[in-house]
A = this chain, B = another copy of it.
Amino acid sequence: MLYSKSFASINREVPKDEMSVNGQLLIKGGFMERVTAGVYAYLPLGWRVYRKIEEIVRKEMLAIAAEEVYFSVLMPKDLWIKSGRWNSFGKILMKLTDENGNEYILGPTHEELAAELARRNIATYRDLPRAIFQIQDKFRDEEEINSGLIKTKEFIMKDLYSFHATQQDLDIFYEEMKKVYSNIFSQCGLKSYIVEAAGGNFTSENVHEFMVKSFGGDDTTVFCELCDFAQNKELKQVKENDRCPYCGGLLKEEKTIEVGNIFKLGTKFSEDAGAFFVDRDGEKKSIFMGCYGIGLSRLMGTIAEIYHDEKGLKWPTSIAPYPVYLIKMNDTDPRVDVRIKKFTDRLYNQLNDRGIEVFYDDRSEVGGGEKIIDADLSGIPYQVVVNAKTLQKDIVEIKSRNTGKTEFLKRSAVASYFKKMIQ
């Protein structure tokens, strides 16, 4: 992609009341725009980051044999009356009435519809187990919406629903999903902790949240300094300065962001929807359900909260909008400038031909200092600089955005270098 042809420039103004680090950096870097409080639109660079995160998640869901579906945002009132959540879900449920007086909600989550589809599609033990997932906009009328992509009125979520014949089958799948989730977050560059938490609107049992430590976090987690014990402070089962209930180790509070959660729903939603199956022995039984969510837009915001410095973002290579940021430095001598341009254009084409995605700052009207500021803001992991000096030696300068380290390479070696680094 040529900078000169892209829709949004990188160094942009941030609304004064955009308070969170991720919100500021993502707007400043040209990744997104605020449409209104708690609602954002993704610009080309931001959408590329999002799509890379989405592909990591999709691949892992398909790998555990889940099938992709796509539910509706609109759900009729009666589905949510059946489950009791039309009233109990609280103020964050967004409701709507159409011209004919029909009432709907905008899905904040989809257990009701998942259970209803299970009712229609699962008849016998032969139809179990099953897992379906979707990636879709969700809507919640959140009040605290000044945390960038961490908490918004409209967000993108991957939600998976599992259907099992027995509690034991559900338990096994649930443990598998723990590993899958940790693996996903790790691919996105995040160390996640599995934390006990309250089920809230979903189940009266405790559930597990995947937490990432971050100063910008809106959750507080109590960690044991010795063992794996970790609990959302909202549970209030442990008090500050108390000892770990498992090993007696010291406890410590940290600010965290919840990037995913998994719930054993049991038979509540399937019974509300009338989703039963006939077992091998001919007996009618309730389907055991689980649900497994990852807020994909929130995940993007969380990565931005963690991967940055004072100059801007620092994306992990796996989800960077492009791995390579190519910079042509302009020269005051027009003959030299033409030669720099030719050299850089050729390198751009070579890298593209080798399947390496490059964002190329080819702008002729912008100075070198500004170009480096933009490159740093973008958070793209490798900056490749071509100027009069490097041109003379037929080399390029490669700088790692992460480590700040610089090295010089022959032009002919650049494509192979990145083929090795990016993977």
Seen from chain A, the residues whose Cβ lies within 8 Å of a Cβ on chain B are 1, 4-9, 12, 33, 35-37, 39-44, 47-48, 50-51, 65, 67-76, 91, 94, 96, 98-100, 102, 104, 106, 113, 117, 120-121, 126, 130, 132, 136-137, 139, 141, 143, 153-154, 365
Contact = CB atoms under 8 A, between A and B. Distances in A.
Nearest to A67: B44
Contact of A72 (B35, B69, B106, B113): B35
Contact of A67 (B7, B72, B120): B7
Contacts of A117: 7, 33, 41, 43
A121 to B, nearest CB: 5
Contact of A74 (B9, B75, B136, B154): B154
Nearest to A153: B74
A73 B137 contact: yes
Contacts of A41: 69-72, 113, 117
Given A36-B76, A42-B71, A43-B117, 11 more contacts: A35-B74, A39-B74, A41-B69, A44-B67, A73-B73, A74-B154, A91-B99, A94-B96, A96-B96, A99-B143, A136-B137
Complex A-B, nearest 6 residue pairs according to Cβ-Cβ distance, in ascending order = A44-B67, A36-B76, A42-B70, A41-B71, A39-B72, A8-B121
B47 A120 contact: no
Contacts of A154: 72-74
B69 A44 contact: yes
A47 B61 CA distance: 15
Contacts of A8: 121
Contacts of A47: 68-70
A96 B140 CA distance: 12
Contacts of A40: 72
Contacts of A4: 126
A55 to B, nearest CB: 13
A402 to B, nearest CB: 26
Contacts of A120: 12, 33
B113 A35 contact: yes
A41 to B, nearest CB: 5
Given A6-B67, A9-B121, A74 B36 contact: yes
Contacts of A102: 36-37
Q: Most chain-B CB neighbours within 10 Å: which of A39, A72, A91, A365?
A: A72
Contacts of A33: 117, 120
A139 to B, nearest CB: 7
A37 to B, nearest CB: 8
Given A7-B67, A74-B153, A98 B44 contact: no
Contacts of A70: 41-42, 47, 50
Q: Most chain-B CB neighbours within 10 Å: which of A7, A67, A132, A153?
A: A7
Contacts of A36: 74-76, 102, 104
Nearest to A68: B47
A7 B130 contact: yes
A100 B42 CA distance: 25
A39 B96 CA distance: 14
A141 B65 contact: no
Given A98-B141, A121-B9, A44 B68 contact: yes
Given A7-B121, A9-B121, A365-B126, A69 B96 contact: no
A103 to B, nearest CB: 10
